[in-house]
Chains A and B, each alone.
Chain A
Amino acid sequence: MESSREHAFPRPLIATKFYPPPAPARSVKRPDLVARIEEGLRFRHPLILISAPAGYGKSALVAEWRESVQRTVTWLSLDDSDNEPLRFFLYLIAALQKADPTIGTELRALLEANQLPPRETLVALLTEDLLASKISLVCVLDDFQSIQDPFIFDILQELIAQPLPLQFIIVTREDPAMPLGRLRAHAQLTEIRAADLRFTKKEIESFFRELIQIPLSEAELSLLEQRTEGWVAGLQLVALSMKGRKDPSAVIASLSGDNRHILSYLTEEVLKQQAPTVQEFLLQTSILTKFNADLCNAVAQRSDSAWLLEQLLTSNLFLTPLDDEGHWYRYHHLFADMLLGLLRRSQPQQLQGLHLRAAKWFEHQDMPLEAIDHALAAADFARSAKLLEKHTWTLLNQGYARQVEAWLQSLPAEWRARSLRANLSFAWMYLLRGNFAEVMPYLEQVESALETAAAEGDLQAECLALKANLKQAQGRIMEAIEHAENALNVVSPENIRVLGLAYLGLGAGYRQAGQFDRAVEALQQAVHFSRDSGDSVTGALAISHLVLMSLQYGRLTFAEQVSTQMIEQMEKSKEAVSPIIGAVYGALGLVYYERNQVEQAREAYLRGIQLSTFLGHRASLVYTKLNLARLLLTEGDLDGAVKNLQDAQELIQAGAPGWLRPSLIAHQVEYFLAVGNLPEAEAILQQSGITDGDKVIHAPDEIQLAYLHILLRHREEEHLREGIKLAERIVTVAEGSQRNYTTMLASVLGALIHEKLGDAKSASEWLERALAIAEPEGYLRSLVDKGAEVAQILRRLKKKTDYVHKLLAAFPVMERTSIRSHPPEGLVEPLSERELEVLRLLAKGTTYAEIAEQLVVSLNTVRFHIKSIYRKLGADKQVKAIERAREVGLLE
């Protein structure tokens, strides 16, 4: 359930992060190093690593290379907040889209909705899009030392390992924890390191003579090279210190100590040479990681910042523009560190006021990240807590979980305890991710605060709604219902978001308690309120409960109506889809299947499987694979059925909700009975702890029905009599709680047992009970799949309704569809009808958008079909797919 709880409102990405810094106007050109980068790219090295400490001119070198070539280059400047997979990949995709907007469109929508797909899906989708792109790209990742997350490394390694039209230039202060040794051994890595970047004596000479117009003697050059080790930042500071001095050589002679000491010493020297106004401005603005004139005016309480910034830029005072318009700037990291150090030492009393003014400015500009940072630095905990209360949920949805958590932890305990909404937001986030253990500390914090403070009713209501949803997910049904009802009692009527959440907890609780009507009513309320409040995730969860429950209760028509409505809405919407959508497709497929619309069922299942895989929703994937296994089994595709059952089993073992296990067992039993392996079917049930009829009566419906099915296959009267008793018991209990689907299946099996015992009258009566449920909802396959004996009983019925005739007619239809439509020779898997339709349109040269319009589906659906067609035809391009389709006779 990893997803956002509210309407997806992605904050606009920070544009300055994509801005490639221009090469310094006055700098020593480094043609040899530029040539090395080019050579690495020409040799198709997937990674060019530029690794050296700060101030060695790494970014300047890449900027010089970028301006000297005609390549398509995208740039991404990273910072510590990007060390979260969701955020990193969102920005990486956005950077790639600057060069080719078709790359990662589906992924981006997901990431913007706070959904991180599984590793395999992420790699597969990116790879596919990159291969389809006609552009060869170079992506520069600047300040990569900020990235330390193993998941990010893992994905980048995958991308680097594949032959893609994408090469990375990683600019970093330390080597990334990636397999550089292997890349070196396979000659796939170009490295430019500190030793390569340090200025040679010749370059130092050229730097001072041509750019600074200060010729140095051979001895001075040697001394400078020795003292600075050719460190560019140091040389620049030396040059700045020399400006306007009568004896420039004295600066060189005064250098002593290590690089850090030189830097500190020179920064002070440079500062001393500036006018007092500039000195003050530099120190005051050093608290800012990025700034514009307006912000500088606010922080430094002046009105001439625009002019001062111009002066700094002209003086080459380590000012780096962050955009083309000259709005945003930053200082070189090293210079900023030194200035801030100076400010702390010389005017510590200023710091709090400066940070506070910065916090207010960012708050006013609706830039909460920066505002919270500065508010905390100013020790303004009231403001920090207020900002966290207001923005935590949005920031969590934008992938800032680590950062917000760190902020929350850095608040003093009393303020943290007062941040109820922030704590509540964390609790929701972990609940939606299914990480129940992590929910508790945050929930406890909120609850203890609620006990001591006179909290507003809505906060209390939200807390109760959260507990209701937590308890129902943990199977503590009565507690869930109680919390939900309490939430509804205290919530104010205008708080529709919390109303939706409370009704969701209530409906899910009633569903598990077997109270169908109450559950439907509550879930419909949840859908209604969540729609009004724009909370798409609550809406999707409520609908999925409604659909799955409707099937359980034999309400096929209602399930079809609700699932179709949800799918239509999703297809029309441009938002990222809810992860639960895979199960909704699985449920709709089951509706089609029951009505004997086999191809539509298959299509819905395959779409459900695609979406569940794509969105990493394991429960939906298991559910849909089990349904598909049943369809394949009845078609006689035993291999296909086994494959899907095995997949489902592995997924459950890897960690899927417990409610899917009985369904898996029932499907496995069904398979072994279908292939005539009664001992194995019994063994499956025994392994799950069902060794006799006494044990089965406490098991879920699916297990009871599977046991009943096994009893039907026995020849001994003793077993058949036991079957009758069990069928009667199942029907009695299921009828009592309106579980019509269970009643119907138990009645069909009961009818067959009576038939086997030679009691034709009872067999007819039992089957008529099943028909009373099946007819209004249009069930066919649940009866037809039970075999010719059902048809035999049906033919004996005195009153044959239209429905009975339809059922009887379905038997031969089933026989026809049971002959597996073999794929054309050379193809492992056949194309579905819809895929053939798409393929034919593609062959006619129809565009994706035109296909979407003609077939009345979304562009995303078309893309899914096309990917599936490519996979089945073993092609990676449209031309190849059409060629292959002609070869195997799929196209005229």
Chain B
Amino acid sequence: MKSNPKITLSGMHTYTLTVYGELDGDFIATFCPPRTRPVFTGKTIRLDNLQVDQSGLLGILRSLHNRGCVLLSLSIDPGETP
């Protein structure tokens, strides 16, 4: 069904997401799943170790969008399925 059978619609996966905008630590604590690690470089913020399923990922993207953040990149971390 898939080239990588580990990646599924229902499963949790680990992502790295980079946005441009203003975010603070409070956003991570308030909206992100536990163990998410923010890395701030100027106005670019990278969210490492973002462990979510597809519905959760959509929700995070929407929250970032509502805060005026611009999505720069999104990648799935291979072999990091929690």
Contacts and interface: CB of A to CB of B under 8 A. Distances in A.
B73 interface: no
A816 B76 CA distance: 78
A180 B59 contact: yes
Interface string B51-67: 00111101110110010
Interface string A608-649: 000000000000000000000000000000000000000000
- Best-surrounded residue of B31, B55, B56 (most CB of chain A within 10 A): B55
A56 B28 CA distance: 28
Given A51-B59, A193-B56, A257-B1, A182 B30 contact: yes
B31 A180 contact: yes
A173 B57 CA distance: 11
Given A177-B62, A185-B34, A230-B10, A194 B1 contact: no
Interface in B1-37: 1-2, 5, 8-12, 28-34
A194 B32 contact: no
Contacts of A173: 55, 58
B53 A193 contact: yes
A687 interface: no
Given A179-B31, A229-B8, A194 B63 contact: no
Contacts of B62: 148, 174-175, 177
B44 to A, nearest CB: 21
A229 B66 CA distance: 32
Contacts of A53: 9-10, 54-55
A182 B60 contact: no
A326 interface: no
Contacts of B8: 229
A226 B5 CA distance: 9
A52 B10 CA distance: 7
B1 A256 contact: yes
Contacts of A255: 1
Contacts of A194: 9-11, 53-55
A226 B29 contact: no
B10 A56 contact: yes
Nearest to A256: B1
Contact of B66 (A52, A56, A150, A230): A150
A218 interface: no
A179 B55 CA distance: 15
A176 B56 CA distance: 9
Nearest to B2: A258
A195 interface: yes
Interface string A244-285: 000000000001111100100000000000000000000000
A182 B29 contact: yes
B1 A181 contact: no
A779 interface: no
A415 to B, nearest CB: 33
Nearest to B62: A177
A182 B34 CA distance: 10
A181 B29 contact: yes
A185 B33 CA distance: 9
Contacts of A181: 28-34
Nearest to A51: B55
A195 B11 contact: yes
B19 to A, nearest CB: 14
A709 interface: no
Interface string A175-202: 1110111101100000001110110000
B56 A51 contact: yes
A729 B55 CA distance: 73
Contact of A226 (B1, B60, B66): B1
A185 B66 contact: no
B4 to A, nearest CB: 12
A226 B2 CA distance: 10
Contacts of B60: 175
B63 A177 contact: yes
Contacts of B31: 177, 179-181
B1 A197 contact: no
A172 interface: yes
A776 B10 CA distance: 81
Contact of B56 (A175, A197, A262): A175
Nearest to B30: A179
A374 interface: no
A195 B34 contact: no
B10 A195 contact: yes
Contact of A259 (B9, B29, B34, B58): B9
Nearest to A229: B8
Given A195-B12, A226-B1, A176 B53 contact: no
A195 B53 contact: yes
Contacts of A180: 31, 59
Nearest to B55: A51
B1 A52 contact: no
Contacts of A227: 1
Nearest to A257: B1
Contacts of B66: 150, 177
A168 interface: no
Nearest to A172: B55
A197 B10 CA distance: 9
A879 B30 CA distance: 39
B55 A231 contact: no
A421 to B, nearest CB: 35
B31 to A, nearest CB: 5
A267 B28 CA distance: 41
B10 A229 contact: yes
A720 to B, nearest CB: 59
The 5 closest A-B pairs by CB, nearest first: A175-B59, A194-B10, A174-B58, A179-B30, A177-B63
Interface of A: 51-53, 56, 148, 150, 172-177, 179-182, 184-185, 193-195, 197-198, 226-227, 229-231, 255-259, 262
Given A51-B56, A179-B30, 17 more contacts: A53-B9, A53-B55, A174-B59, A175-B59, A177-B59, A177-B62, A177-B66, A179-B31, A182-B29, A193-B53, A194-B53, A195-B10, A195-B11, A229-B1, A231-B10, A256-B1, A258-B2
Interface of B: 1-2, 5, 8-12, 28-34, 53-56, 58-60, 62-63, 66
24 contacts: A52-B10, A52-B53, A52-B55, A53-B9, A53-B55, A148-B62, A150-B66, A175-B55, A175-B56, A175-B58, A176-B59, A181-B30, A181-B32, A181-B33, A185-B34, A193-B53, A193-B56, A194-B9, A194-B54, A195-B10, A198-B10, A229-B8, A258-B2, A262-B1
